[in-house]
Structure 1
Amino acid sequence: MGYRYALERQDNSVLASGHVLRSAPGFPGFPVRLADELFRRAMVHTGDGSVRLWDPCCGSGYLATVLGLLHRDRISSVRASDADPDAVQLAARNLRLLTAEGLAEREEELRRSARDFGRPSFVERAEDARALAERLAAAGGDLPHEAAVADVFSSEEVGADLVVTDVPYGEMTHWLGDVPENPLAALFASLGRVLPAHAVVVVTARTRRIALPEGVLALERVRVGNRAAALVRARDL
């Protein structure tokens, strides 16, 4: 099993939450195919070259890590932030999987679990961690990253070219801190203040339609299953 094996897994099941990437109760994953589609759509609007990616409501860091592993060749750095320190701690562990060393550690951890608990499925997961390491190396190697505790409503300027974030929807995930009456509108306003004008913002949620601020036109809208997404330009926020 190696790089070819990882690429042939068309369903990207190697990236499922809790398989190689780490998960925890209360921290949901995100559909990999939708993450891939939203990233590809956003890149149409960013121009040529690589982007600095930021997820300001990162939770476990799953979405940011998946995008980093899928699109290492188009991403130059990853920033993940959240108001929840526990979430950021888990996100940091997942973002470490954007390095050869982090994936090697994860592979050994899974092999040790296979030996200690007699679970053959952990051997497959360990092989998948190795395949992801080979895939990452072929796409450009270790990806610079950082995880930080930060309130999205009071962020300072962030040097990012692309924001992709899945906002809290009130079932398993919730807004934290001093939450405005309309948190989604406040999120857009904050991103408009702290991002470069050229940046593209992709916001998704479990809802029928993402409500944009008055007068803001979406670059694109996407609806898949119970999730909706909107792509906007930071300067329009």
Structure 2
Amino acid sequence: MAYRHVTERADFTDLASGQVLRSAPGFPGFPVRLASELLQRALAHLPQRPVSLWDPCCGSGYLATVLGLSHRDRLSHVRVGDVDSDAVALAARNLELLTVEGLAARERELRAHAEEYGRPSFLERARAAARLADGLVALGGDLPHAVEVADVFAPRRPRPAVDVVVTDVPYGDLTHWAGDRPAGEPVTGLLRTLAGVLEDHAVLVVTARTRKIALPEGVRPLERVRVGNRAAVVVRAARLR
């Protein structure tokens, strides 16, 4: 299928980690422009209707929140999960920003910090929250979402059904993995496990800091992408059966 890239947002500054979205040590962000491109690549292989998004290795929830704010008009629901309860707690706070009230509360918080600490940078971050709220309204308003503590290697069938998975996974250093992962290559096991709870039409986008993401033998991807030190694969769930 041919893919035509469409840039939804020219300036991603307001979405930078630590600007409006919350960050914490040990929870890295993700390049916003790349996140947007990967979602659009997945959408090119799906029907032209709002789709449900799932990030099962969400960390801070940054990736899913960025996609929700940038592509609200193409998304009907966002679900995130992680085996780390601390990560999920942070993700829940970030996904609150997928609502107009959540962004308004964040704006008030940042304005209060600006007054308390006398730092103009907080005031600019408050203005960024207001701009994101305006953008969210323009794209369709509040985005329904769910957050859960869950092991990616023992997933439950998501409800509502998921159309697209977008996740950035730890790679190479297995100390970053938790839960009962299958024997062998962890990302290959992750792909097969997730496909087992998805509908055939669903598209998975998995990215990691590696040269190339291995697929199960005989599985052809829809697309492969490499940017800097990150590789990504786009694959149909049905092909992973």
TM range (shorter): over 0.9
Q: Structure 2 counterpart of 1:218, which letter?
A: P
- 1:221-232 alignment, distance < 5 Å: 221-232=224-235
Tell me, in whole angstroms, the C-alpha distance in 1 between the residues paired with 2:182 and 2:107. 42
Q: How far does the alpha carbon of each residue in 1:119-153 deviate from its partner, in whole angstroms, 9 at most, with x for none?
A: 10110000010010010001000000011001111
The 8 Å contact of residues 100 and 133 in structure 2, kept in 1 or not, is answered as yes
The separation in 2 between residues aligned to 1:53 and 1:110, in whole angstroms, is: 29
What secondary structure is seen at the aligned counterpart in 2 of 1:216? coil
| Residue number in structure 2 paired with 1:167 | 169
Q: How does 1:1-237 map to 2 (within 5 A)?
A: 10-158=10-158, 159-169=161-171, 174-181=176-183, 182-237=185-240
Spell out, residue by residue over 1:211-232, the C-alpha distance to the aligned partner (whole angstroms, 9 max, x if none).
0111110100000000000000
The Cα shift of 1:197 comes to 0.6
Aligned length: 231
For residues 29 and 217 of structure 2, the distance between their equivalents in structure 1, rounded to whole angstroms, comes to: 31
Q: Distance in 2 between matches of 1:32 and 1:70?
A: 9
Q: What TM-score, normalized by structure 1, do the two folds share?
A: 0.94
Using the TM superposition, give the Cα deviation of residue 8 of structure 1 relative to its aligned residue in structure 2, in angstroms: 11
Equivalent position SS for 2:153: helix
The structure 1 segments of at least 4 consecutive aligned residues displaced by more than 3 Å after TM superposition are none
Matched letter for residue 105 of structure 2: E
In 2 relative to 1, CA 217–184 (structure 1 residues): closer, same or farther, beyond 3 Å? same
State the superposition RMSD in angstroms: 1.7
1:66 counterpart SS class: helix
In 2, the alpha carbon distance for the partners of 1:143 and 1:8 equals 17
Percent identity, aligned pairs only, is 67
Q: Which has the higher helix share?
A: 1
Contact 2:9 2:70 in 1 (8 A): no
TM-score using structure 2 length:
0.92
Q: Distance in 1 between matches of 2:108 and 2:9?
A: 22
Show the counterpart of 1:4. none
Inter-partner Cα distance in structure 2 for 1:230 and 1:175: 20
- Contiguous gaps of at least 5 residues in structure 1: 1-6
| 8 Å contact kept, 2:51–2:77 | yes
| CA displacement, residues 26-63 of structure 1 (integer Å, 9 cap, x when unaligned) | 00000001001101111100121010000000000000
Give the distance between the partners of 2:168 and 2:157, measured in 1 at CA.
Answer: 20
Contact 2:153 2:179 in 1 (8 A): no
* In 2, Cα distance between equivalents of 1:199 and 1:100: 29
**Cα drift, residue 180 of structure 1:** 3.2
